[in-house]
Amino acid sequence: MLERKTYLTKNLKNAKKNKNDEYYTKINDIEKELKYYKKYFENKIIYCNCDNPKESNFFKYFALNFKHLKLKKLITTHYNGGKNSYKLEIVEDINNDGKIDLNDAIKTPLQGDGDFRSEECIEILKSVDIVVTNPPFSLFREYIAQLDKYQKEFLIIGNINTISYNESFKLIKENKMWLGYNSVRHFIRPDGSSYETARTFWYTNLDIKKRHENIVLNKLYSKKDYPKYDNYDAINVNKVTEIPRNYKGFIGVPITFLEKYNPNQFEIIGKMSTTKTDDYNFGYPFLNGKKIYARIVIKTKKIESNKRN
């Protein structure tokens, strides 16, 4: 009973925030990214657990491409503002019209409001293969922690700030999560208006070709060009293309490094992104007494020769 009360209390505290946290992903952005993952969807159960089927382009994309992607099953649930919600499932051509689409969806009432943290939605989560959705940005910490707990494959959207969360960064550092191919800037609000955010990324644990491509390094290290931080023993690099190929120590690079990160080429040591220090964060980077933008601390795994053939 105590666990249920705690869950309800958290829902009430987040209810107001969630009203301002609902943004729908455009279908062209979904198509642009998901084309790289087709092989992973075959004969799999896909779960969109933050998706109102009346509005969600994720559900529409998978429903309209059910046969093309060779899906086993498609499930969607969504938070209904504290009121009873429902589950939609697509499994087969139930109306015998020769195709599988939105008209073949089976609607089943839920006992609760469809919150992804509820017991019945967690039970659904346990039964699926891959989760694909745009979760509430304000709840991303809880969301990604849940996916990790139940060891689910996923392809989800989160804003650039999520990289600094320990829950997210731990997975990135341990190569359990990485960035997809594209970023998203524009979303649709429930009232139909457009909303522009800071850069928003696709996060996934589905392997992609991109993360095995080396960054071409052409720069050589020198003390003059690569000063060290005042508060941490690492050199500062302002652009990914300026990473020196022959430096053996720790290197601070912009967060955008993660878009090109190859775990076979580099090791992630930690981050410099907040004043608080812990096992993952070493404090904001300071250079000549001035605080600069957040950095990812890395180390090159294989030092390249000073000479090029």
pLDDT in tens, 161-192: 888 898 999 999 999 999 999 999 999 888 88
Where the chain has pLDDT below 50, the residues are 1-19, 308-309
Beta-bridge mates of residue 273: none
Alpha helices in the chain (DSSP H): 2-19, 27-34, 38-41, 57-64, 66-69, 119-127, 140-149, 166-173
- At 147, the amino acid letter reads L
Q: Encoding tokens for residue 264?
A: 């076979």
User: Three-state DSSP class for 28?
Assistant: helix
Q: Under a CB-based contact definition with an 8 Å cutoff, are residues 26 and 56 in contact?
A: no
User: Three-state DSSP class for 33?
Assistant: helix
Residue 152 CB: number of other CB atoms within 10 A? 16
Nearest in space to 47 (alpha carbons), one of 16, 77, 22, 26: 77
pLDDT given for residue 304 in this prediction? 64
pLDDT given for residue 14 in this prediction? 44
Beta-bridge mates of residue 188: 24, 194
* CA 97 to chain CA mean position, Å: 37
Q: Under a CB-based contact definition with an 8 Å cutoff, are residues 114 and 121 in contact?
A: yes
**DSSP letter, residue 282:** B
Beta-bridge mates of residue 48: 76
The pTM (predicted TM-score) of the whole model is: 0.89
pLDDT given for residue 241 in this prediction? 94
pLDDT given for residue 307 in this prediction? 52
How far apart are the C-alpha atoms of 19 and 32, rounded to whole Å? 28
**DSSP letter, residue 257:** G
